[in-house]
Amino acid sequence: MTLPAGYLRQHLIDPELCGRCNGCEEACTRKAITHDYRNYAVDVERCDQRMDCIRACSTGAIDNWRIVPAAGAYPVEKQLEWVELPPPIPLAAEAESQAVQDALGQAGRRPHPPKSAPRPEINLHTPKNPGTAVVAENRALTDPTDDSEVRHVVLDFDGLNFPLLEGQSVGVIPPGYDAHGHRPHVRLYSVASAREGELPGTRRVALTVKRVLQDHAGRSARGICSNYLCDLPPGSRVSVTGPVGESFLMPDDPGTTLLMICTGTGIAPMRGMIQRRHRLAPSQGGPVTLFYGGRTPGELPYLHELQALPHGLVDLHLAYSRVAGSPRQYVQDVLRERSSLVTNLILRDRCYIYICGLTAMERGVHEALADILRPADADWNQLVPQLLSEGRLHMEVY
C-alpha cells in the first residue's frame, strides 16, 4: 500500500511489553535491531520490514508501528531512552487516508492462533501496575550440574484476575535495581500447566525455570530473574505481569492432532497442552506426538512424568546429545529417523505444529523438516506461510 509522499511506516518495539529474550535481534536478517541495558530499538535505515522478527516475539512488543514524516523518524538513540511508546504523531490532513490505515493494519502479519482456540486475555497487569502471586512450591526437576539446574516453581494466583491458557506466558519482575539504578526488566516464563491450574480447580500455575549460571559463550553469568525465582521459598510474594501471548495456543477442536518439537525448558508450554489433553475425554482430543531433546535423561525436565502418562496419550521420541558411550543425537536427527511419521502428521489438515526451545535448534529443525517433506513432493518453505495463516504452525525460541 502506497503512503502519501513524505511519510513512512516505522517499526518500533514497545519497551513495556518487551521480554528481552533477544529473539527479535537474532531473527532480524538485516541487523536492524539493537539493544542496550534499557531497551531494544529498530534502526529505520536498516529495517526492510521483512517481518523475520515477528515470529520470534511472544509478547507482542515487536508488533508496533507508527506512520511518521520521513524526516521525523525516531532514531535508535531516542528509542533506547523510552520507558513507553510515544503516542502517534499528529499527521497532516493528507496523511489521514485509507492508505495510512491499511498500511498500519497490515503491518504486523503475526502468526494466527488456532481457529478453535479460546480468545486469550492479555496484559491485564503491566510493569506499571503489576499483580502479586505467591510461591506455593519450588522443587528441583533435573539432576544438578555445574552449569545447569531446572526447577518447578508453582505460583498461586488466588485473588488475582489472571486467566491463563496453555501456551501463554507470565512476566516476572525481580526486585531491586540494576547497576544503572533502573528496575530490572520483566522476564517471561511459559506456563507449564493447563488452564484449569496445576491441580484442577486451583489458581496455581507452574513455571519451568532454568537457573542461568553461564551466558551463551560459556562465560560465568548469573541470570537476575532465574536465580531470584530458583531461590524463592514457598510463601514468597512475586510481582507478575501479563498474561502474555495471543497465538501460541492449542486448538479446542476435538480430533486435532498435535506435533510438538522442543528442547530443554521448551517443554513448558508442551506440558500444559499435554496436561489439558490428559484431562479431556478421549473423544475430545486427538493424539499428541512429542520430539524432545536434551543432553542427558537426567537433564530433561518432566521426563519421568511424561513416561508415566497413560499408554497412547503421547507418542514420545527422545534425543540425547551427551550420553556416554552413545552417539550424539539431536532432536532434528530423530525427526529424520521418523520421517514417515512426521510427513504423515504435517500433511494432515488437522495437525498443529509447535516448536519451542533455544534459538540454535530452530534452524536445524527447519532444515530437517524441509528434507523430510521433499520426497513427498512437499516444500516446507512454501508450507510455512500457509501453516502460519491457518494457525497450524507455532514457534517460540529464546
Instruction: Please tell me whether residues 263 and 393 are part of one structural domain.
Output: yes
Cα–Cα distance for residue pair 359/21, rounded to 1 Å: 10
Instruction: Please tell me whether residues 393 and 262 are part of one structural domain.
Output: yes
Name the domain count of the chain. Answer: 3
CA 310 to chain centre: 28
What CATH number does residue 213 fall under?
Answer: 2.40.30.10
pLDDT at site 62 = 86
Facing residues of 209 across strands?
Answer: 151
Instruction: Please tell me whether residues 270 and 370 are part of one structural domain.
Output: yes
Q: Considering the entire predicted model, what is its pTM? A: 0.81
Q: pLDDT tier at 107 (50, 70, 90 boundaries)?
A: very low
Q: Answer whether residue 118 is part of any domain.
A: no
Q: Answer whether residue 390 is part of any domain.
A: yes
User: Could you give the count of Cα atoms lying within 13 Å of 344 in the half-sphere of its Cβ?
Assistant: 5
- Other residues' Cβ atoms within 10 Å of the Cβ of residue 208: 24
Q: Of 88, 105, 122, which residue constitutes the final position of a domain?
A: 105
Q: Which amino acid is at 353?
A: I
Q: Answer whether residue 117 is part of any domain.
A: no
For 1-12, how does the pLDDT look when each residue is reduced to its tens digit (9 = 90+)?
Answer: 456 778 888 999
Residue with cell string 496436561: 275
Q: Answer whether residue 112 is part of any domain.
A: no
SS3 of 23, please? helix
**Is residue 266 a contact partner of residue 356, using CB atoms and an 8 Å limit?**
yes
pLDDT at site 21 = 80
Instruction: Please tell me whether residues 339 and 389 are part of one structural domain.
Output: yes
Instruction: Please tell me whether residues 141 and 228 are part of one structural domain.
Output: yes
pLDDT over threshold 70, residue 102: no
What CATH number does residue 97 fall under?
Answer: 3.30.70.20
Which domain range does residue 211 map to?
131-244
**Is residue 301 a contact partner of residue 208, using CB atoms and an 8 Å limit?**
yes
CB-count burial class (<10 Å; 0-12, 13-18, 19+) for 395: buried
For 180-200, how does the pLDDT look when each residue is reduced to its tens digit (9 = 90+)?
Answer: 777 788 889 999 999 999 999
Q: Of 105, 123, 140, which residue constitutes the final position of a domain?
A: 105
**Cis? peptide before 243, omega within 30° of 0:** yes
pLDDT over threshold 80, residue 204: yes
Cell (9 digits) for 313: 496419550
pLDDT over threshold 60, residue 98: no
Question: For 69-81, what is the mean pLDDT?
Answer: 92
Facing residues of 11 across strands?
Answer: 65
Handedness of CA 389, 390, 393, 397 (dihedral sign): positive
Q: Answer whether residue 141 is part of any domain.
A: yes
Instruction: Please tell me whether residues 219 and 94 are part of one structural domain.
Output: no
Instruction: Please tell me whether residues 162 and 77 are part of one structural domain.
Output: no
Instruction: Please tell me whether residues 348 and 321 are part of one structural domain.
Output: yes
